[in-house]
């Protein structure tokens, strides 16, 4: 009797553990369509218009991977996603998607509405990058020819990833967006994608950023502004600073490669007045001086450091002023910092932070070190 | 003893008449024309009529001619009549042989004669002399084909048990090395020999081995494999629980670790017990080479044993269930190779692995001259053509080839590898990585439950203590291996006294 009981117990545990697992369907890899990227537009009747780029793989000896787009509409995102099956025949496989491109209209209506399905579904992943199209629709990004061979979404993904050595666009995936947008004090930015004419052909370019305030698109910043923004957000990992120099042989442009940058945001309260101290310390190296040799002398380097500091400071102050007056969106994360460092002050101003932010006094200090001078031996 | 031969002749007995005795043996060896009866007489002593009986081909004719017949014919026996017992005189003064016994029991005599001894009958005596004259042809000592080493002794066991014993004896020159003979097989009377070092071997394991050997009731033993299967633990498991080796150095080393060896006449494979799982991965070369190199090689063997079992199942579960675990470029290339392939990945994996096993078996069975043809058919037609014809995808062929090669590194592990590889593959094809791990757990539980002569089969595999692990996954330097394997050599654990190793 005891033996039977134990056998039954083991059987129940075994059967339960089999039945209560997640997705476990056997599916051959060639039976699914691999989604590379997704573009969301607004269609007729306010429906979502869904364009997916799918990897099209031809087998055989010289296999080639090309891409193809499919467009479907639906009332909700998931509805649209499933409607795609009626056009493709095969199930779509989302785990390897790299980018989601939102059209301007969709982003203005609310980003969270769109990505909600993507964060909740079991087959999708949260490391997919978000993009906002500066063009009329998101779909046309997929329609242009790509600069290099391959699937456009994957190339876009690479473009965003490699911003670490350019810093002219933010790197925002869905997970990060979700975390930042839930923290109500700060607004977020996501990279912007636009079309650019190159050799009579239109190509996609990831440059600049879109300001998302209260989950809605508020405006765009260009690439250089985004770089300055990244300085404030302490997200500069690489990139180039150019600085004009007066030399004996006339004016020249120096390119400084950024190696390391560290930004300290220190909120301070002077009575009821809140002000922010920004300390930016950047280590650069001279990479290019347009052939002007005497720039390498120490005196010249110090001069170059000073002028670069001033230029950077001016640019950053300009950006802060622009964002404060035009958008009033705290994309710098000052509010977050204030909450961390000066909780009592934050409690006082948190209710009308937007107004406070608009009049916030920001003191910018920049420091540039030139690490080496690229001496030609 | 339920001896079949003795049943026919148990009524018979020797008597005083030589003619009767000859007639008796002619009856015993009726229809056996290899038995030679040679009668002769001493010219000085006419009463000394004698007859020798031996089996042609089993004896060394030089011994028979020069050491038995010649002394009897040429000696002046009339001077040697001091004793009443002429047969005793023959034994002590005439016959030139290192081993002469007086024997009366017919079955014992018959056994000796068929094993190459010469029987000496003398008229007037109901006794016989059994003179050792074994001298058959046997293979010379050579390096075993299947266990070659780059560095190490080049000798291997032969089919002759006495030669094999001498090979081990030469390595361990100590009176503590004990040999106990036992005959197994009612018809074959196969000589077996239990060999151990008295100081080291566990008495319990020894008596258990003897008990299991005594329980064997079989008519014939042709190879030690029969005994290996008859005395093993976990008889239904594909994992070997009795070791076997063709090399005297390995057996000597195992004896020095406190294990017990079992020699079987006619088989160059000597058994050793107890046998634990790590011994599958130990090679004698590990101990002869630099310990770093030895450890590296042993890790490779352990790693391949694990991967040979798991790789097809992991591949299948990722490709068919968990595509999200693949890096995107890999996913695309695997997907490209699958385009237009009609057979599901799971089926093609089973199929290709089965074909590989067929090729492996063919490689052993086929006559060597046609090997080339089979290789070409196997490698080209099945591998390349199948991919080109889009019957299987290229990654499946790669996985199969990789698995096949890795399987062959550990030949001791072959049956377990093949069985559990298919078992895991089945689990993976039904439930993905989840089913794979379920089967892994089952396999692990099975391994943990096996014992070999009371010693846990997985001994030292999962232990973190230094002295346990130093000869398991790695081979530690000799000066640190001061202890013998525990449990097996529980009687005398210390191999190097610590004082000595500190001097080092």
The ipTM, to two decimals, is 0.79
Task: For residue A38, give both structure tokens.
Answer: 């997704």
Residue at B289 is within a domain: no
Note whether A122 contacts B: Cβ–Cβ < 8 A: no
Nearest to B277 by CA among B110, B97, B440, B456: B456
Query: What is the residue extent of each domain of chain A?
Result: 31-221, 233-370
Q: Count CA atoms within 13 Å of residue B284 on its CB side.
A: 20
Contact B339 A60 (CB under 8 A): yes
Q: Phi and psi (nearest 5°) for A297?
A: -60, 155
Residue at B390 is within a domain: yes
If one counts the domains in chain B, the total is 3
Interface residue of A15, A23, A28 to substitute, partner B, most B CBs within 10 Å: A28
B312/B446 same-domain check:
yes
Question: For residue A4, what is the DSSP state?
Answer: H
How does pLDDT run across B13-36, given as a tens digit for each residue? 888 888 888 998 898 888 888 999
> Is 60 exceeded by the pLDDT of residue A377?
no
B269/B304 same-domain check:
no
Model pLDDT, residue A296? 67
Residue at B185 is within a domain: yes
Whole-angstrom distance, CA of residue B354 vs CA of residue B346: 12
Q: Percentage of chain B surpassing pLDDT 90?
A: 45
| Strand partners of residue A255 | A242, A288
Which residue's entry shows tokens 């945001």? Answer: A265
pLDDT tier at B226, thresholds 50, 70, 90: very high
B61/B181 same-domain check:
no
**Could you tell me where the beta strands, DSSP code E, fall in B134-282?**
177-184, 190-197, 243-245, 260-264, 270-273
Residue at B55 is within a domain: yes
Contact B323 A24 (CB under 8 A): no
Q: For residue B213, give Cα distances in angstroms to A24, A294, B169, B209, B232.
A: 51, 96, 23, 6, 11
Q: What is the SS3 assignment for B59? A: strand
Residues from chain A that touch B429, judged by Cβ atoms under 8 A, are 26
Q: What is the pTM of this model?
A: 0.83
- Enter the CATH code of domain A233-370: 3.30.300.210
Q: Of B242, B275, B308, at which residue does a domain stop? A: B275
Model pLDDT, residue A364? 92
Contact A59 B319 (CB under 8 A): no
Mean pLDDT of the B277-285 span? 90
Nearest to B212 by CA among B231, B196, B195: B231
> Is 50 exceeded by the pLDDT of residue B483?
yes
Residues from chain B that touch A29, judged by Cβ atoms under 8 A, are 319-320, 323, 331, 334-335, 338, 345
- A3-7, A15-19, A162-166, B491-495: the lowest-pLDDT one: A15-19
Task: For residue B439, give both structure tokens.
Answer: 């089967």
Q: Phi and psi (nearest 5°) for A171?
A: -110, 105
State the DSSP string of B456-474.
Answer: ETTTTTS--SHHHHTTTTS
Mean pLDDT of the B82-86 span? 70
Residue at B466 is within a domain: no
Cα B485 versus chain centre, distance? 22
B396/B350 same-domain check:
yes
Asked if residues B269 and B164 have their Cβ atoms less than 8 Å apart, the reply is no
Model pLDDT, residue B2? 42
Going by their DSSP bridges, the two strands A129-133 and A188-198 should be labelled as parallel
Minimal Cβ distance to B335: which of A34, A60, A154: A34
Residues from chain A that touch B320, judged by Cβ atoms under 8 A, are 26-29
B115/B175 same-domain check:
no
Which residue's entry shows tokens 């190879």? Answer: B223
> Domain limits at B193?
161-275
Nearest to A82 by CA among A57, A42, A48, A45: A48
Residue at B150 is within a domain: no
User: How close is the nearest chain A Cα to the Cα of B436, in Å?
Assistant: 12
Task: For residue B427, give both structure tokens.
Answer: 């689990």
Whole-angstrom distance, CA of residue B292 vs CA of residue B281: 16
Residue at B155 is within a domain: no
How does pLDDT run across A78-134, given as a tens digit for each residue? 888 888 888 888 888 888 999 999 999 999 988 888 888 888 888 888 889 999 999
Residue at B370 is within a domain: yes
CA quadruple B147, B148, B152, B154: dihedral positive or negative? positive
B346/B435 same-domain check:
yes
Q: Of B131, B149, B171, at which residue does a domain stop? A: B131
């Amino acid at each position: 009797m005891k033996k039977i009981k134990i056998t039954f117990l083991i059987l129940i545990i075994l059967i339960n553990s089999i039945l209560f697992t997640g997705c476990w369907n056997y599916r051959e890899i060639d039976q699914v369509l691999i989604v590379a990227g997704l573009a969301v537009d607004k269609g007729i009747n306010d429906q979502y218009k869904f364009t997916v780029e799918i990897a099209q793989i031809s087998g055989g000896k010289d296999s080639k991977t090309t891409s193809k787009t499919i467009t479907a509409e639906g009332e909700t995102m998931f509805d649209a996603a499933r409607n795609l099956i009626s056009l493709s025949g095969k199930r779509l496989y989302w785990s390897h998607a790299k980018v989601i491109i939102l059209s301007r209209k969709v982003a203005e209506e609310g980003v969270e509405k769109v990505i909600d399905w993507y964060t909740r579904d079991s087959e999708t992943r949260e490391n997919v990058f978000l993009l906002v199209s500066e063009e009329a629709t998101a779909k046309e990004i997929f329609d242009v020819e790509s600069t290099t061979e391959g699937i456009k979404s994957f190339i876009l993904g690479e473009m965003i990833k490699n911003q670490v050595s350019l810093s002219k666009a933010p790197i925002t995936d869905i997970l990060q967006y979700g975390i930042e947008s839930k923290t109500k004090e700060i607004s977020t930015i996501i990279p912007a994608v636009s079309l650019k004419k190159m050799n009579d052909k239109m190509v996609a370019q990831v440059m600049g950023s879109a300001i998302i305030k209260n989950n809605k698109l508020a405006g765009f910043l260009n690439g250089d502004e985004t770089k300055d923004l990244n300085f404030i957000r302490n997200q500069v990992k690489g990139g180039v600073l150019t600085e004009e120099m007066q030399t004996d042989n006339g004016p020249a442009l120096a390119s400084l490669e950024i190696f390391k940058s560290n930004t300290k945001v220190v909120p301070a309260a002077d009575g009821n007045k809140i002000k922010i101290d920004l300390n930016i310390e950047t280590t650069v190296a001279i990479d290019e001086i347009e052939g002007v040799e005497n720039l390498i002398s120490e005196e010249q380097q110090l001069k170059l450091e000073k002028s670069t500091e001033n230029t950077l400071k001016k640019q950053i102050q300009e950006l802060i002023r622009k964002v404060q007056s035009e958008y009033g969106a705290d994309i710098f994360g000052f509010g977050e910092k204030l909450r961390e460092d000066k909780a009592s002050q934050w409690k006082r101003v948190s209710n009308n932070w937007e107004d406070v932010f608009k009049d916030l006094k920001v003191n910018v200090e920049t420091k540039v070190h030139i690490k080496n001078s690229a001496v030609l031996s | 003893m339920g001896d079949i031969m003795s049943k026919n002749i148990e009524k018979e007995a020797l008597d005083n008449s030589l003619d009767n005795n000859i007639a008796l043996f002619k009856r015993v060896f009726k229809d056996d024309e290899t038995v030679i009866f040679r009668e002769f007489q001493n010219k000085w002593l006419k009463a000394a009529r004698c007859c020798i009986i031996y089996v042609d081909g089993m004896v060394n004719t030089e011994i028979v001619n020069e050491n038995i017949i010649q002394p009897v014919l040429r000696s002046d026996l009339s001077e040697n009549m001091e004793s009443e017992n002429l047969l005793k005189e023959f034994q002590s003064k005439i016959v030139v042989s290192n081993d002469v016994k007086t024997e009366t029991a017919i079955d014992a005599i018959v056994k000796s004669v068929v094993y190459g001894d010469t029987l000496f009958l003398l008229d007037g005596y109901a006794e016989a002399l059994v003179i050792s004259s074994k001298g058959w042809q046997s293979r010379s000592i050579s390096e075993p084909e299947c266990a070659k080493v780059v560095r190490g002794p080049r000798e291997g066991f032969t089919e002759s048990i006495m030669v094999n014993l001498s090979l081990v004896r030469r390595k361990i020159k100590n009176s503590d090395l004990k040999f106990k003979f036992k005959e197994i097989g009612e018809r074959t009377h196969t000589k077996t020999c239990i060999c151990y070092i008295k100081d080291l071997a566990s008495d319990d394991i020894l008596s258990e081995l003897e008990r299991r050997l005594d329980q064997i009731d079989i008519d014939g033993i042709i190879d030690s494999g029969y005994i290996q299967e008859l005395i093993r633990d976990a008889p239904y498991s594909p994992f070997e629980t009795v070791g076997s080796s063709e090399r005297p150095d390995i057996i000597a080393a195992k004896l020095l670790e406190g294990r017990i060896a079992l020699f079987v006449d006619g088989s160059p494979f000597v058994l050793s017990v107890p046998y634990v799982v790590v011994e599958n991965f130990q090679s004698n070369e590990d101990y002869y080479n630099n310990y770093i190199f030895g450890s590296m090689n042993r890790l490779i063997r352990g790693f391949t044993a694990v991967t040979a079992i798991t790789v097809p199942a992991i591949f299948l579960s990722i490709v068919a269930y968990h595509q999200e675990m693949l890096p995107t470029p890999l996913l695309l290339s695997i997907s490209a190779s699958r385009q237009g392939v009609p057979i599901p990945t799971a089926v093609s994996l089973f199929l290709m692995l089965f074909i590989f096993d067929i090729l492996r078996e063919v490689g052993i069975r086929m006559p060597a001259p046609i090997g080339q043809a089979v290789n070409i058919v196997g490698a080209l037609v099945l591998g390349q053509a199948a991919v080109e014809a889009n019957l299987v995808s290229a990654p499946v062929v790669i996985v199969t080839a990789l698995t096949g090669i890795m399987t062959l590194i550990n030949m001791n592990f072959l049956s377990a590898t093949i069985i559990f590889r298919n078992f895991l593959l089945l689990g993976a094809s039904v439930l993905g990585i989840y089913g794979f791990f379920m089967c892994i757990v089952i396999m692990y539980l099975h391994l943990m439950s096996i014992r070999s002569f009371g010693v846990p089969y997985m001994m030292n595999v999962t232990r973190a203590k230094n002295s346990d692990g130093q000869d398991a996954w790695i081979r530690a330097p000799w000066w640190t291996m001061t202890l013998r394997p525990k449990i097996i050599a529980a009687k005398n654990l210390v191999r190097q006294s610590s004082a000595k190793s500190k001097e080092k």
